[in-house]
Chain A
Amino acid sequence: MKSTKTSARTRWAGAAGLSIVAALALAACAPPGGAEPESAPSESTASGTLKVGYISPITGNFAIAGQEMVDGWNLYWELNGDEVNGVTVETIVEDDAGNPETSLTKAKKLVESDGVDVVVGPLLANTALAVAAYTSSVGIPNLHPVAAADDLTQRAANDLTVRTGSQSGSQTNYPGGVWAAEEGYKTAVTLCPDYAFGWESCAGFKQGFESEGGEVTAQYWFPNGTSDFSTYVSQIQAAGADVAFVATAGGAPGPDFLRSFLGLGLADSQPLLMNCCSMDQATLRALGSEIEGFKSVSYWAEGRDSDVVREFSDAYGEKYDGKLPSANVAGGYMTASLVAAVLKENGLVTGEDLVSAITDFTFDDSIFGKVSWDDYNNTVGPVYIREVKEVDGKLANVPIKTYEGVDQWLGKDPEEALKQPSYSQSFQG
């Protein structure tokens, strides 16, 4: 026994020694060739191709939203052709399943292995921030069609990251608060999901409402995954405020909340304002005429009377069984049309030139209306107060009031806004 043990030890020591020697010998050589920077962008510049890496959660919990975001992007190029001003736009779509680690690996794959000129996406706040930090470190522009995280264009802003197809969480809902106060409501109660997006949305509404002299009397938070909203609806009823503001991040919670709200018979007695995603097309299709006349606030209004919106929603409806496009589809489409517009004006631009071409650009007739970009690469554009109405036999969110040129600073100056802590339950600005 003993001898086996000792000899085994000696052998292991020998093996370890050998491998160390091998490692040292190898380490003494020149560093590996892979360390050289990629030269892919310049190659594709020569050939007149803009290579786009598109990351989106096509599988997993956020698959529907992720697929919509891809559909919007693809739809634009199908309608208009993928060649603009002599530049061919080539897209590689990658799935990140909503997981930040996978998102990062996909971004690395797109940049280092496929040599893309620009990364578009991903969708969720944490994946977006992870990818933006990576792409900026390797000098590749990153465009965000849907991601709403405030920090993307505030505390974590960088020169190469642009929000192109949406607004930040607090930015969109600030005019909602202003509108509610202008309507003459004196008190408000809010219900938002209990994580960053919800905190930002409610903070936006609250600050807007209070800036016009309103008072938020109670704020309630629901955890992600809530499907039974009856207790929250009762709390809203008990709060007895003049208006209720309810935000969700899209998906099932919107219809679930409204079912409880309608079920408890509050539709006529409690004025309600919802956010972008709780009152999107999925909700309208799920609940039908029951919610006609309901109001919401968003940067996207599919029922807006405009040629570009009509062209977009007709094309989308033709391809997807007469559906109207949601905000996620619009974000993808908006980003594609923006890239096309910038290419048309400047020819092929990559890297920082692409970013500055976008941020110097004013998109006068986008599907969102007139949109420009601020110094932190965030969109400055209109926000619509919308009402659910029937248009050509389909329910759509039709704007009843427009706030033009809304920026992300909620009436503060940027330095002041950046100094305050991130929004949370306890800090709402």
Chain B
Amino acid sequence: MATKFVETRTIRTIGAPRSTRTRLITIVVLVVLLGFAVALPYLGTTSYAMSLVTTIFIAAILASSVNFLVGDGGMASLGHAGIAAASGYGAAWATRQGMDAWGQVTIALSITIVVSLVYGVLSMRTSGIYFLMVTLAVGMVIFGLAYRLSFVTGGENGITGIQRPPFLAEYWMFYWFILGIFVLTTLLLWVIARSPFGASLRGLRDSESRMRSLGYSVASYKLGAFMISGTIAGLAGLLSVWHTHFISPSAAGVHRSVLLIVMVILGGVGTTFGPLVGAAVVVLVENVLSNAVERWPTILGLIFILVILFARAGIVGSTQKLIRRIRRRRSGTPPGDTDLHQETAIPDGELTARKELP
């Protein structure tokens, strides 16, 4: 029975048949959106607007690394800002030593891998609230180091003057670069989530004890997931210092990690484009709405509460649910036991699977 259950889930998640029309529509919409994103610098946008959009994409890359862990692995991390900051500090330190861009990338990514390994090894045997606490603690350690090791990190003052490689110097070139990285990481996470590895991760999320009794090494799967997620977070950290030319301990603070979780929940846990939408909402409220409204933190809080109350699957997740419901009503399927697996990323697959299975 148990074997069968796992099997069905796995099959369904790998290659659930979707209606060709839905697929086509999705792909066309995605291509149009991507085309729009690529063309954005030509559409009369100011350099400030482009810089905002770049910020959103970088935040989205970081949020999608958290989303991957929460959505597929069921592991909510409160320490991802720490990983990103460690990588950023690596790049900053490399700049201070007079290294070129490749030196920065090498140092930043090696630090990322080491830090992710530390996080992963410490947290791989925990789950739920304990996982949260371990990642929070390691994040605090990184914040503490950034704050106190002033001969390396500049302490509270941070490090300024970090330069990105010359071929990315112009803001629009950097924007395209970031867009490319975003597309690549999103694609990568999408593929991983649909691989057998991703299926096993979801198995872990749903029942650790079952996976263990089936002979899976739970800890190594968790470590693997954390390494993937951590590496992407580190990449986002490096891109972030290339964008701001600056890093200080506040980048590693709990505040940033919490905002990442907020982005993921706002967008929709486990959805492919949830992190992007969530990041856009948070960054825009923080940077644009705050120009007009003095009490913008209240607005952000209200948006969060409203989403939790009325759209628990997040903005993207709930939109998907809504579309599904409308379509179902049109096709005449009676409304009933809807959305048993609202967290899975493939809405249409679920529907068709349910229709076909009986």
Contacts and interface: CB of A to CB of B under 8 A. Distances in A.
Contacts of A100: 158, 244, 246, 248, 250-251
B151 A31 contact: no
Interface in B149-163: 150-151, 154-158, 160-161
Contacts of B18: 4
Contacts of B39: 26
Contacts of B55: 101, 105
B264 to A, nearest CB: 18
B34 interface: yes
A129 B157 contact: yes
A22 to B, nearest CB: 5
Interface in B86-131: none
Contacts of A60: 297
B161 to A, nearest CB: 6
A340 interface: no
A8 B156 contact: no
Which has the most chain A C-beta neighbours within 10 Å: B51, B151, B183, B291?
B291
A196 B86 CA distance: 20
Interface string B42-78: 1011111111100100000000000000000000000
Contact of B151 (A26, A112, A197, A424): A424
A287 B47 CA distance: 50
Contacts of B42: 26, 29, 32-33
B155 A18 contact: no
Nearest to A25: B38
Contacts of A12: 27
A422 B246 contact: no
B82 to A, nearest CB: 15
Nearest to A36: B47
A422 B295 contact: no
Given A23-B38, A130-B244, A31 B170 contact: yes
Contacts of B158: 100, 126, 129-130
A1 interface: yes
B290 interface: yes
A104 interface: yes
Contact of A11 (B27, B44, B147): B27
Contacts of B155: 195-196, 199, 422, 424
Interface string B271-313: 0000000000000001100110011110000000000000000
Contacts of B224: none
Interface residues of A, number: 58
A134 B51 CA distance: 13
B347 interface: no
Given A102-B287, A421-B151, A196 B157 contact: yes
Contacts of A111: 48
B88 to A, nearest CB: 11
A164 B229 CA distance: 45
Interface string A98-137: 1111101110110111000000000001100110111001
A149 interface: yes
A149 B51 CA distance: 27
Contacts of A109: 48, 287, 291
A137 to B, nearest CB: 8
A35 interface: yes
Contact of B250 (A18, A27, A126, A197): A126
Nearest to A32: B41
A264 interface: no
A59 B294 contact: yes
B176 A424 contact: no
A58 interface: yes
A156 interface: yes
Contacts of B151: 421-422, 424
B38 A26 contact: yes
A107 to B, nearest CB: 10
B210 interface: no
A35 B172 contact: yes
Given A1-B15, A59-B297, A113 B157 contact: no
A95 interface: yes
Interface in A1-46: 1-2, 4-5, 8, 11-12, 15, 18-19, 22-23, 26-27, 29, 31-35
Contacts of B147: 195
B156 A108 contact: no
Interface of B: 11, 14-15, 17-18, 23-24, 27, 30-31, 34-35, 38-39, 41-42, 44-52, 55, 147-148, 150-151, 154-158, 160-161, 170-172, 176, 183, 244-246, 248-251, 255, 286-287, 290-291, 294-297
8 contacts: A2-B15, A11-B27, A26-B39, A95-B290, A101-B251, A109-B291, A112-B48, A199-B155
